[in-house]
Every structure is written in C-alpha cells, then in structure tokens.
C-alpha cells in the first residue's frame, strides 16, 4: 500500500468539494493538493465589495503565479445592490478582457449604469468575453434600452438569458427599430429564457416591459427556446395587465413550437395573456404563485382546456395555500374565493386532466403552503376525494415543505 494518496485520486476528490472553507484548507495540506484546490476555488467568483474587487485585481490579476488560475473561472457574480461596490468594479470588462477564457456564466445584480459610468460603451466591452453562454441581469438600471440591447447582442454564444426587473429611461421605440442591427449570426440563439417583472401603476415600469417584449419578439425569431419562464406580478390592477395583452400574445406565439418547459405566474394565465394552444411541443407546465390567483379551480380548469400539446408529462401548481392557512393568516378573507388545496372546485381538474390531450400525463404536482402541524395525510385524503380519476392513475403528488 502506498504511504500517500496518488494526486489523480485527490484531484478527483477535491473537484467534488463545494465548501469554500474546506477547499481553502485543502490548499494548505501539501503542494500536491494546491493546484486542484485553487482551480476549484476560482471556479465561482463573487464580487460583493469594492475591497474584494481590489484584492482580485492586485493579488490575482497582477500576479505572475496566481493569474494563471483566472482561466479556471466558470462563473462570475457581481453584486451592486450593497452600495459598497465602487466605480472600480465597473472597470471589470476592461481590466479582465482576455483573462477569463473559461467564463461561461455571468450574473450582474443591482448594477446601476445611469451614474458614474467609466465608459459610455461599457456593455460593448462584454464582447471580449465571447465564451459566455449564460447571462443573468437582476434589477439592473440602464441609461437607455439600447444599452441593454447592445449587451445582449454582443455575446455570440449566449444560450441562457435571465432578465429580472430591468429599468431604463422611457424612450421612443424608433431608435432601435430603425437602427441597423448586427447580422443574425451575432444575435443570441437562446434555448433558456427567464423574464421576471413586477408591474405597478408607474407608467415607465410596464412601458419598459412592453419595449423589452417587443424587441425580444423580433430578436428571438429563429431561436429554439426550450425553457421559458414568464413571471409577471401585477399590482396596478386589470388596466396594467390588459395593456400588455397584445404584446404578450405576440411574444408567446412564435415560441410555441419549441418550448417544452413553461413556467408562468397564475396572474399571467388568468389575464388571458397565455395562448396555451400555441405551445404544441409542451411537456412540462408549472403555474407559480397560485396564492395570487383570485378565483377558484373552475377557472384553472378552463385555462387547461386550451392546452393542445399531447406530450404534456407534468403539471405543477406551486404555492397553493391550504384552507387552514388562509383562515390563520388572512382571517378577514373568505377562503372560498381562493383556489386553496381541498377547495370543492378542485374536482373540475379531474375530467379535464383525465381526457385528451393529457394521455401522456405522468404527474400532477401540488406544492402546498400549510400551517405548522397540518396533517399532510389528511390533505392528500381531501385531494384524493376530489381527484379520483387522477389518483387512480397514481399521478397526483403533494410536495410539502
């Protein structure tokens, strides 16, 4: 038996370690463990403070020995919402150009490009990172919509895009409609798209969302989007929801032939913004934030009657409140006005999901939000009485927290 573990074995073990403190300790064990430990440590980098960025530049970027590990970086996250990421962080795409050859995922949170921008063409510097395949923008502010558009069109390998609550100065749509955009080969060919916007009574909030959807409708033509998450939360009343109806329908329709995994909020579905009949390749359908839906399961059954795909394998209902939870948390609310788990109208789903086109259905999943100590077996018994055909097929699932 050897007195030591061969490096090829320890390298494999270290590659499976996720805890950063453990990896740091592994790097101190011996020289043989150092390269693999550092490589894994540099796989995911998070910049959450101006000091962390300064140290990354000083001790890694400008170091002859440490700079080699920058090629190991696969994921980079920059957090701007803490207010402690100085303007130096905005120099990232300039200072690290050509240094992150393995970068695949980039996440930018709460970045504000409306003030103290080091260069008016900051988004264009991302073209130096041609290996990025996944981009996530969370709560970022742009000087104009064109800045966001440029950021998306300079990443030729982009296949996964997440945009959450973007904002910019409301401007006319004419500038980017009339502009000579890059050739189609440089546009993103997305396979995974996540859009989340909280719409309120502010005019610019829903107008910006409308602008984004109209541009994406044109830009995504030819892209085979397979996973689509469309998360819209309306707090401005029916007027705000209906104002986006035509734009949303125009956005969904071209994607219907390719989307296999669809996640939407109930508010989107219940405002008739979701043409389910167009999603002919659909296999997985999930309704998020069911607790926000003001209605009963009869309305849900009517929505599901519009499904045309015969390949649907799973339908999920997330954040479904129980009657006991509604009475405890919202005592002034009539629970019969909410689609709680066990509501008498839940039986409306049984004939709909037991017929065509749901012959391939393998799972109807409910994710209940229940009160502490609530009996999950009793909940399932109530569901079983209301969905006898689906329970007989053994496709009903309750995923309690």
Q: How far apart are CA 322 and CA 264, in angstroms?
A: 21
From first to last of its 401 residues, the chain has per-residue pLDDT tens of 566 778 778 777 777 777 777 777 877 788 777 787 788 888 888 888 888 888 899 998 998 888 888 999 999 998 876 555 555 567 788 888 889 999 999 999 888 877 655 455 666 778 888 899 999 999 888 888 888 888 888 888 899 999 998 888 765 444 444 444 444 444 668 899 999 887 655 556 677 888 888 898 888 877 889 999 988 766 555 555 566 777 888 888 888 899 999 998 866 555 555 788 889 999 999 998 776 666 678 888 988 998 999 999 999 999 888 888 877 777 666 767 777 888 899 999 999 999 989 999 999 999 998 888 888 888 899 999 999 999 999 999 998 76
Q: Which two tokens stand for residue 398?
A: 């309750």
Q: Which two tokens stand for residue 229?
A: 């998450």
Q: Does 44-189 match 1-41 at the fold level?
A: no
**Dihedral sign from CA coordinates of 274, 276, 282, 287:** positive
Which of 313, 304, 248 is CA-nearest to residue 282? Answer: 313
Q: Which two tokens stand for residue 362?
A: 């393998």
> What pLDDT was estimated at residue 267?
64
**DSSP per-residue string spanning 169-221:** ----SHHHHHS-PPPGGGS---SEEEEEEEE-S-HHHHHHHHHHHHHHHHHTT
CATH 3.80.10 fits 44-189, yes or no: yes
Element (H, E) at 378: helix 376-386
Strands (E), 339-391: 363-369
Domain 1-41: which CATH number of 1.20.1280, 1.10.3470, 1.10.3300, 1.10.510: 1.20.1280
Contact 153, 188 (CB under 8 A): yes
Contact 380, 398 (CB under 8 A): yes
Contact 317, 272 (CB under 8 A): no
Kindly report the pTM of this predicted structure: 0.84
Contact 371, 328 (CB under 8 A): yes
Each domain of the chain, given as residue ranges in start order, spans 1-41, 44-189
> What pLDDT was estimated at residue 15?
77
Strand bridging mode 141-142 / 167-168? parallel
* Phi, psi dihedrals of residue 200, rounded to the nearest 5°: -125, -160
Task: Tell me the H-state helices in 76-202.
Answer: 92-95, 145-153, 174-178
């Amino acid at each position: 038996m050897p007195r030591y573990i061969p490096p090829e074995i320890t390298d494999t073990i270290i590659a499976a370690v996720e805890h950063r403190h453990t990896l740091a300790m592994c790097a101190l064990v011996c020289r043989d463990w150092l390269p693999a430990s550092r490589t894994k440590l540099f796989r995911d980098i998070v910049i959450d403070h101006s000091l962390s960025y300064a140290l990354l530049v000083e001790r890694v970027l400008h170091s002859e020995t440490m700079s080699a590990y920058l090629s190991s970086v696969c994921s980079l996250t920059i957090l701007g919402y803490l207010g402690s990421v100085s303007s130096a962080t905005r120099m990232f795409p300039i200072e690290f150009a050509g240094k992150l050859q393995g970068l695949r995922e980039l996440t930018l949170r709460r970045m504000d490009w409306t003030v103290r921008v080091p260069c008016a063409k900051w988004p264009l510097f991302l073209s130096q990172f041609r290996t990025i395949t996944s981009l996530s923008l969370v709560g970022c502010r742009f000087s104009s919509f064109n800045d966001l558009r440029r950021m998306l069109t300079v990443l030729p390998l982009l296949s996964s895009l997440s945009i959450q609550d973007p904002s910019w100065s409301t401007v006319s749509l004419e500038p980017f409609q009339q502009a000579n955009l890059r050739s189609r080969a440089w546009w993103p060919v997305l396979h995974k798209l996540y859009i989340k916007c909280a719409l309120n009574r502010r005019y610019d909030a829903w107008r910006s969302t409308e602008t984004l959807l109209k541009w994406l409708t044109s830009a995504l033509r030819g892209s085979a989007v397979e996973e689509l998450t469309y998360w819209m939360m309306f707090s401005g009343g029916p007027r705000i929801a209906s104002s986006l109806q035509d734009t949303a329908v125009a956005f969904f329709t071209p994607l219907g032939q390719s989307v296999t995994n669809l996640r939407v909020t109930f508010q989107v579905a219940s405002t008739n913004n979701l043409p389910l009949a167009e999603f002919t390749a659909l296999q997985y359908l999930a309704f998020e934030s069911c607790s926000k839906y003001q209605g009963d399961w009869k309305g849900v059954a009517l929505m599901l009657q519009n499904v045309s795909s015969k390949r649907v394998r799973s339908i999920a209902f997330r954040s479904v409140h129980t009657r006991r939870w509604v009475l405890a948390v919202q005592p002034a609310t009539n629970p019969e006005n909410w689609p709680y788990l066990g509501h008498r109208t839940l039986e409306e789903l049984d004939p709909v999901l037991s017929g065509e086109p749901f012959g391939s259905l393998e799972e109807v999943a409910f994710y209940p939000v229940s009160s502490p100590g609530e009996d999950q077996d009793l909940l399932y018994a109530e569901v079983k009485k209301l969905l006898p055909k689906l329970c007989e097929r053994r496709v009903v699932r309750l995923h309690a927290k």
